[in-house]
Amino acid sequence: MILRIGYDIRFDVPAPVTMVTLLNVHPSRAVDLLAPDELHAEPASQMQSFYDSFGNRCTRFVAQPGELRLHNLTQIYDSGLGDAANYNAREVPVQDLPHDALRYLYNSRYCEVDRMMAVATQLFGGLPRVMHACRR
C-alpha cells in the first residue's frame, strides 16, 4: 500500500535557538520512499543533516525569532504487515542486560518520565514477570 506521510509544525520562537529535528523516515526505509523526504522550513534556514548514534537522520539549524513553520509531505510504500514479533520473548531484569542495550533505556527530556512511569505501571504492572538469564 502507498501511505502519504507528513507534518506541519509551527512554533513561535522568542529568541534565536538551535534546533535539532528527527523528522525524516529512518534510513532503513529510504528505499521505500516514492517522493523526496525533505524538511522544509519557513522562513528558510541553512540546515545541516547528520546521523545520530541510533542511525536516525537528524537536521540541525538555527531558528530566528518569529513564527517558524516546519513541514513536509511525501509518500512511502509499505506492505501493511505488522513488525516481526517474538511472542516467546521474556522480560530480562535491567541488571542482567548487556551494557550496549542500556542506551535504549535512558530518559529523554522530551518524555515526562515521572508521568509515563505511572501510566506504564498502571498498564503493565500486573502482568506476570517471566524472566530468564540474558545471553551474552
Q: What is the DSSP string of 65-111?
A: SEEEEEEEEEEEE---PPPP--TT--B--GGGS-GGGGGGG---TTS
User: How far is residue 65 CA from its own chain's centroid?
Assistant: 26
Q: What digits encode the pLDDT tens for the residues 68-89?
A: 999 999 999 999 999 888 888 8
Other beta carbons less than 10 A from residue 107's beta carbon: 10
φ, ψ (nearest 5 deg) of residue 42: -130, 120
15 burial type by CB count under 10 A (0-12 exposed, 13-18 middle, 19+ buried): exposed
* Percent of the chain clearing pLDDT 90 (strictly above): 62
What is the identity of the amino acid at 24?
N
Which is higher by pLDDT, 93 or 22? 22
pLDDT > 90? residue 117:
no
What is the identity of the amino acid at 58?
C
